[in-house]
Amino acid sequence: MNKNSENISGWKKFMKSMTKAHDLGTEEDIMLEHDYDGIKELDNVLPPWWLYGFYITIAISIFYYVQVFYNSEEYSQEKEFATEIAEGKAQVEAYKAANPELFDDSNIVALTDAESISKGKELFASKTCTACHLADLGGSIGPNLTDNHWILGGDVKSIYNTISKGGRPGKGMIAWESTISRDERIQLASYIVSMQGTQPANPKAAEGDIIWPEE
């Protein structure tokens, strides 16, 4: 017997020890008496590899159970959760510190390039702003956005803030900051600014005491 055949033989022995599979042709030895319309059943044992895995999961579960209830200082889920939350917040703050321009709303300016205005117009339609303000921004349930009367301010920062945080309580204008990105909110606010002074088909009467731009 050469070395290669010895390896193959050893591997087969190992696989047989892990599966306990019966050799072909010996099915009669483990055949049960059941017979369902010619279909018979073999009484195979559970393969050892599966049993070992099952026993290991039981051992791990017992170990973890004991640790959770008797070593809570090291295996406290509440502490793990609190630690991960603290780490997550620290990462967020670090990101904010490294990218202040992304979070400082005081630096927002109205965009005027055609691409940004076009994107803002697209968002105005796709985010259903038209349902309350109409496609020409003349106002319906919501106020007219083309005149210079504003309830919460008509400069780009005020409009951005209204889009982000929502309008007056109970008036239907929801906060969009969790569903529209910061860049898109700026584009949307910039589009609204660009439409000020236009002439909608049926403009709603002016609302709000804030005048912007000032007359």
Find out whether 154 and 210 touch, Cβ atoms under 8 Å.
Answer: yes
What tens digit of pLDDT does each residue of 159-169 get? 999 999 999 88
What tens digit of pLDDT does each residue of 18-68 get? 888 777 788 888 888 888 888 888 888 888 899 999 999 999 999 988 988
Question: What's residue 120's pLDDT?
Answer: 96
Question: What's residue 8's pLDDT?
Answer: 65
34 in helix, strand or coil? Answer: strand
Gap between the Cα atoms of 188 and 206, Å rounded:
21
Average pLDDT taken over every residue of the chain: 89
Residues across the chain? 215
Question: What's residue 16's pLDDT?
Answer: 80
- Mean per-residue pLDDT for 89-94? 94
Provide the pLDDT confidence category of residue 78 given band limits of 50, 70 and 90: confident
Q: Is the pLDDT of residue 4 over 60?
A: no
Query: Among residues of the chain, what percentage have pLDDT more than 70?
Result: 96
Gap between the Cα atoms of 49 and 39, Å rounded:
28
Q: Is the pLDDT of residue 3 over 70?
A: no
Tokens 């193959």 locate to: 8
Gap between the Cα atoms of 215 and 142, Å rounded:
23
Amino acid letter for position 1: M
The pTM for the full model equals 0.57
What tens digit of pLDDT does each residue of 128-143 get? 899 999 999 999 999 9
What tens digit of pLDDT does each residue of 140-155 get? 999 999 999 999 999 9
Gap between the Cα atoms of 120 and 195, Å rounded:
11
Question: What's residue 27's pLDDT?
Answer: 82
Least Cα distance to 200 among 136, 132, 154 occurs for: 136
Least Cα distance to 193 among 172, 163, 165, 167 occurs for: 163
**Cα–Cα distances in angstroms (integers) from residue 59 to residues 55, 77, 195, 211, in the given order:** 6, 20, 68, 72
Gap between the Cα atoms of 23 and 115, Å rounded:
73
